[in-house]
Amino acid sequence: MDCIPRTLSRGQTYDALSSQANITGYRAVVEASNEFGRFFAGQMTAAGKVAPAKVLVVGTGVAGLAAIQTAKNMGAIVRAFDVRPVTKEQVEAMGGQFLEVDYEEDGSGAGGYAKEMSKEWHAAAAKMLGKQCEEVDIVITTAAIPGRKAPLMITKEMVSKMKSGSVTVDLAAESGGNIGTTVKDEKFITDNGVKCLGYTDLASRLPTTSSSLYSNNISKFLLSMGPQTTKVKDYMYIDHEDDAVRGMLTVENGKLMWPAPLPPPPPPKKEAAEVAPVEIDYRAPYVVGAKQAGYLGASVLGMGCIAPDPAFSAMFTTFALSNIIGVQVVLGVTHALHSPLMAVTNAISGTTALGGMHLVAHSESAGVTTLGALATTLSTVNIVGGFIVTKKMLDMFKRPDDPPEYYHLYGIPAAGTMAFYTAGSMSGHVPEIDSAAGTLAGLLCIGGIGGLSSQSTARLGAASGQAGVALAVASTL
């Protein structure tokens, strides 16, 4: 079963090494906790404070990750180290702290295992691990290289620096061990009181689980060769193209099939044609920008040359500034609120009703008066409908647990402003108050659109837009 490639995606179901290593990592923590003289989780009681245990896991393969998860679930502070930097995310996802060596070298090897590292890397790693051994209470090592003696990661000198009562568990004891004080299949206590476990039967200490998972590995493998794949009842099909089957096939019809042929080497990479470096013209964008600035200046001054009277110039100034302000405000609206934005702008654009009201008031033609009345009516529908749709859309973002909102209180200053303006306008002593009311209405409408820049101010923006349109209508009347 251990001949099935571990890197084969569907072969993970048949991977007996992984299923047993998972049990071994879990059991290593259980054995360590049995030998350790304190809680794993920290406690604060009336009788005193107990600090949490610190666990160092060396090697973050299947067994290492299982040990990290188990120790973390028991409340320990877990640190982990591996020669493969790609395992950092897995360690941190389980709540562990990944330790790194101050030396750049990748230890990722074939088949998901680690490769042998350089002497320089080992020197830097030894320095880091030596410091960690002085701090931690439990060390669990799982580092292994297929077909080679297990690398020595924790020396006797490092163990001698550990606190009395500390525990080491060496899961690589069968292949020589990662810890210098490991004795295969025995518990050894050092002179400074460190308990060193070198058991090689940890999976067998959970017989029910290990037998269940291993039998599942075998049954799933055999079933993949039978009716599930061939669709023929009672027919066992040995597919030589199946990497999982071919990897463990020994004899077929009296013919020796071992070992499986090596996979063909990857095709040689085609040498890419040399691409001539593209010369970047850093001056070009500035030239384009200067031209656009020149066109803008000439256009604005040209409008001044053809303006027939001061009223046109004032209107052109308002038009230009409103375009710039409108673009900047709309660009600030968040994407999630684009639909409410369309409804609000639709309502505000309904202020075309003001032009219809002017036509109805000052026109001497029945046709023009009719068109003005029709424009006023349709624009009013646009205003009312736009704000109603905006409210309904914003209500869709509201959650049941959101705090209550009191935006209706903004109606008080709105009503006060309207009363102030009405009194001033009717008194006849402040003729410029109409212009100020128009300016305030414009600011409130711009604020209505700007409020949609975030969900926290969207409803306030809707209220601002309603007040602006109301004030504009009152000013026009």
Q: Of 6, 84, 246, 459, which one is the catalytic site residue?
A: 6
Dihedral sign computed on CA atoms, order 290, 293, 298, 299: positive
* 464 noted as active-site residue: no
Q: How far apart (Å, rounded) are the C-alpha atoms in residues 76 and 85?
A: 23
Q: Of 14, 26, 113, 421, which one is the catalytic site residue?
A: 113
Q: How far apart (Å, rounded) are the C-alpha atoms in residues 447 and 427?
A: 30
Q: Of 14, 18, 79, 421, which one is the catalytic site residue?
A: 18
Closest by CA to 112, choosing from 210, 199, 11, 240, is 11
Give the H/E segment covering residue 251.
strand 251-252
What is the DSSP track for 157-171? HHHHTSPTT-EEEET
Asked if 222 contacts 13 with a C-beta cutoff of 8 angstroms, the reply is: no
Asked if 196 contacts 181 with a C-beta cutoff of 8 angstroms, the reply is: yes
Q: Taking the CB of residue 153, how many other CB atoms lie within 10 A of it?
A: 24
Asked if 199 contacts 173 with a C-beta cutoff of 8 angstroms, the reply is: yes
* 12 noted as active-site residue: yes
Asked if 124 contacts 103 with a C-beta cutoff of 8 angstroms, the reply is: yes
Q: Of 12, 160, 425, 455, which one is the catalytic site residue?
A: 12
Angle between helices 411-427 and 433-450 (to 10 degrees): 160
Asked if 63 contacts 141 with a C-beta cutoff of 8 angstroms, the reply is: no
Dihedral sign computed on CA atoms, order 370, 371, 373, 377: positive
* 20 noted as active-site residue: no
Instruction: Give me the phi and psi of 170, to 5 degrees please.
Output: -105, 105
Active site residues: 6, 12, 15, 18, 113
